[in-house]
Amino acid sequence: MARIADLLSAGKTYSFEFFPPKSDAEQATLTRTLHELEPLQPSFVSVTYRGGAASRGRTFDLVTAMLHVTRLQPMAHLTCVGHTRLELAEILVDYRKAGIENLMALGGDPPQAPGDEPGELRHALELVELARAVGGFSIGVAAHPAGHPASPDMEADRDRLAEKLAHADFAVTQFFFDAELYASLLDDLARRAMTKPVLPGIMPVTSLSSIPRMAQMGSPVPEWAQARLRAAASRGGSEAVRAEGIAMATELCRALLDLGAPGLHFYTLNRSTATREIYRALGLAPTLSAAG
């Protein structure tokens, strides 16, 4: 299995993110998506984690299946929420026994349901330190170009990120839409003497209805981008909106690579078509079809 830190040292990486299926229908969709994306030979893929026993099993099963059944290089997400320190240590040990070497260490969203426990560890840094104690992991952490919603201000956000990265190997950002935000993030880290790789996260806007949901996820679509999407809708309806969203994401990817980004990380939502179209537009997979 390839360690992500080593892949980043060797050159640019191109990676995809998935979430574990909850139903047979979702499983069928994900299986088809993996079949369609595997020929793109991504550097690695990541699998999200929502916390709790059910998500623990789904993430573990999907990550280990990817490792042993496909040619994909998986990275498992793990959050502090809903677990004691001992439970988290057990999960980490189980991953190492299964051969998993790549980990995304996250604080996790606060528990929403009555009776849910916040977890014994409260911050991603504590989970990074625990994973280091278990040993053998290449560890990533999350970065927020516009600042984490819970941060009191940008300075505090960048201080915490630099502190996490000092103990981790790399960061992956929340999705965003302005290359200037990424450049500013790197500048802020450089002022803190932190130069470890930060992979930009990409999620194209493929419908007007997704705009409010992206804002709820902490990454509002900027007004200039909304204006382009609305103009596309007036010209050609939903298909034109989708095409414009793919074009904007492709432009962003080119700008980020020009800025020296160490790669690109695509949030797929368990679908393949948009990612494959961006890949083709960037010339990363010129012989692959975007049908499907």
Task: Give this prediction's pTM.
Answer: 0.93
Cβ atoms of 189 and 198 closer than 8 Å: yes
CATH number at residue 106: 3.20.20.220
- Count of positions (residues) in the chain: 292
**Domain count across the chain:** 1
Whole-Å CA distances, 92 to 97, 164, 169, 212, 263:
9, 18, 17, 35, 27
Catalytic residue list:
17
- Whether 173 maps to a domain, the answer reads yes
State how far the Cα of 178 lies from the Cα of 35, in Å rounded to an integer.
31
Per-residue tens of pLDDT for the chain, all 292 residues = 799 999 999 999 999 999 999 888 999 999 999 999 999 999 999 999 966 667 778 899 999 999 999 999 999 999 988 889 999 999 999 999 999 999 999 998 765 554 556 678 989 999 999 999 999 999 999 999 999 988 999 999 999 999 999 999 999 999 999 999 999 999 999 999 999 999 999 999 999 999 999 998 889 999 999 999 999 999 999 999 999 999 999 999 999 999 999 999 999 999 999 999 999 999 986 444 443 3
Domain that holds residue 156: 4-282
Quick check: is 288 in a domain? no
- Flag whether 65 is in a domain: yes
For residue 49, tell me if it sits in a domain. yes
CA 91 to centroid of chain Cα atoms: 20
